């Protein structure tokens, strides 16, 4: 019998509907996303790319509430490892997203480090390894971001390790956590990205439990991943090959991850994301329905 995961609040996100950009002809209209995510049985969503969902708080609140949905978080990308010169442009973006997130009564801002290679063209934009000085910029910048987002908007930032960014592997994630203040910065553990980069989600939860502030539930196809790693394929093309797959076909097993998270004894969001950009418009809903059913079988 599955463990009752009564501290885990399950949701989904525009990402699971193939949405990566605010506006893109290959993506489903936002109305269809909202209709289908509710139909699939989810009650929590993320905002996705700023500008995909309506940015007027009153309108967005009306659209989500009449579908019995609530918002768990907004998302931003930032390159704070480049130093203090990045702050103003970062804060400008953060302000827009955080204000809308706050207006939707959410409590989290998911922060994704910027890519070191272009996820479409594979062009190398920066070295994949940070210098000691850049690590200092990154950690101090994230702490400042955590402090100012909390003071200004009342939100907690959760930093999302991500493929093709500087916070990706177990070594990099642990260095980041060991170098930052848990009172200011915690982690959005994405089980798929962490597995993609060779990490063990259950081990991370058991070792750094007090730093886990949020979860993204995702799986990778081990066979496709092996080819991606062997041929140094960038993340975007890897997604098009199907490296992120429908649970429970991939790794890590989500049942043990959710059980480990439940044992932390704190309330956590667990937001399903299956990267599928681009995808056929009729593909996401059946996957979302099956995935919600699977997570219920795990106790969530």
The pLDDT value recorded for residue 122 is: 81
189-213: average pLDDT: 98
Residue 117 DSSP label? B
On whether the CB atoms of residues 142 and 150 are closer than 8 A, the answer is: no
Query: Which tens digit of pLDDT belongs to each residue from 9-20?
Result: 999 999 999 999
Q: What is the mean pLDDT of the chain?
A: 96
* 125/40 Cα distance (integer angstroms): 38
Q: What is the mean pLDDT of residues 218-247?
A: 96
Report pLDDT for 2.
59
Pairwise CA distance, residues 210 & 134, whole Å: 25
User: What is the average pLDDT across 75-91?
Assistant: 97
Segment 52-73 mean pLDDT: 98
Segment 76-100 shows an average pLDDT of: 97
Q: What is the DSSP string of 125-148?
A: -S-SS--HHHHHHHHHHHHHHHHH
Question: For 176-198, how does the pLDDT look when each residue is reduced to its tens digit (9 = 90+)?
Answer: 999 999 999 999 999 999 999 99
pLDDT at 1 over 60: no
Write down the pLDDT at residue 54.
98
Q: What torsion do the CA atoms of 249, 253, 257, 262 make, to the nearest 10 degrees?
A: 80
pLDDT band at 218 (very low <50, low <70, confident <90, very high): very high
Burial of 107 by CB count in 10 Å (0-12 exposed, 13-18 middle, 19+ buried)?
Answer: middle
State the pLDDT at residue 273: 95
Secondary structure (3-state) at 9: strand
What pLDDT sits at residue 119?
A: 75
Q: Is the pLDDT of residue 44 over 70?
A: yes
pTM > 0.85: yes or no: yes
Cis peptide before 74 (omega within 30 of 0): no
Identify the CA nearest to 8 among candidates 180, 159, 182, 191. 191
């Amino acid at each position: 019998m599955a463990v009752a995961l009564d501290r885990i609040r399950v949701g989904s996100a525009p990402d699971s509907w193939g949405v990566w950009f605010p506006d893109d002809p290959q993506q489903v209209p936002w109305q269809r996303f909202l209709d289908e995510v509710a139909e699939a049985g989810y009650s929590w969503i993320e905002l996705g790319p700023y500008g995909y969902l309506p940015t007027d708080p009153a309108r967005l609140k009306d659209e989500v509430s009449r579908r019995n949905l609530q918002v768990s978080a907004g998302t931003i990308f930032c390159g704070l490892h480049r130093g203090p010169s990045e702050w103003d442009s970062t804060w400008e973006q953060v302000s827009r997203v955080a204000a809308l997130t706050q207006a939707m009564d959410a409590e989290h801002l998911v922060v994704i480090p910027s890519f070191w290679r272009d996820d479409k063209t594979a062009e190398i934009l920066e070295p994949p390894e940070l210098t000691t000085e850049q690590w200092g910029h990154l950690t101090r910048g994230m702490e400042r971001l955590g402090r100012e987002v909390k003071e200004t908007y009342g939100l907690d930032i959760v930093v999302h390790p991500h493929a093709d960014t500087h916070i990706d592997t177990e070594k990099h994630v642990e260095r980041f956590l060991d170098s930052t203040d848990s009172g200011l910065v915690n982690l959005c553990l994405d089980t798929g990205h962490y597995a993609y980069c060779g990490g063990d989600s259950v081990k991370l939860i058991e070792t750094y439990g007090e730093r886990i502030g949020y979860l993204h539930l995702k799986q990778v196809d081990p066979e496709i991943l092996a080819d991606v790693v062997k041929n140094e394929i960038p993340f975007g093309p890897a997604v098009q090959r199907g490296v992120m797959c429908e649970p429970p076909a991939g790794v890590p097993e989500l049942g043990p991850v959710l059980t480990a998270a439940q044992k932390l004894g704190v309330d956590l969001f667990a937001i399903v994301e299956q990267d599928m950009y681009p995808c056929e418009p009729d593909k996401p809903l059946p996957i979302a329905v099956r995935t919600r059913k699977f997570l219920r079988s795990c106790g969530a």
